[in-house]
Structure 1
């Protein structure tokens, strides 16, 4: 779907505040409310808007430790990857997981209360997955940038 300027502006504004009223959105985009609402619906139906969420403060929720874990699997087969994916998708601590090219097969991003929780995660969950061969972990010292808005 090729986006026009109004659609790009709508998406940019919704990424910053998805709770904005249709009236306010229309005013900022330069449309009347009905056409603006229709454009938002078109963007939803086209799958460009996947949903609406509330962004939470992980620090205030006691999830101050961010850890990246690189995982090498025991072998490269669709069955091994499918089993690993299914287990990882069921784990709440894993907030992101990517399959990679190169020496590392998957990259996990975790939010945890502290390093003790990370140790527990490793020993009681990740290292018990039979498909996991080698792991390398990095603990974030501080968050420099974390944006949810995509560049338009």
Structure 2
């Protein structure tokens, strides 16, 4: 997983293993203006694997703030049925942006919502979520999924 943010990004990298998933790298970056605590830092976590319902999925979530008062943006791509969900729980007045790269098809950009898609099977996937389309947006990427 890669994280990028605004100028002057403080990168604190630490590997973690999520239950049943590959290693994930965590990083923080300064938040863009707005939302909960404009000076708070963002954390992004990604996971590619099988969910509790037996579906293969690739997920990336970026969040900041204390539990119970947390701002977050996320994107999840489900291989079976090729469905993408983009969620926005960050009160910055801008839509969350997700970019889905599928090997052989290129990159498609989506905003907050749900999308039924169609791709060739067993293609490599990278999923990026950003707090907005702004150049100051905080983004995280999870790689390694498939269609």
User: Given the two structures, how large is their TM-score scaled by the length of structure 2?
Assistant: 0.20
Structure (1 or 2) with the greater strand fraction? 2
Structure (1 or 2) with the greater helix fraction? 1
User: Given the two structures, how large is their TM-score scaled by the length of structure 1?
Assistant: 0.19
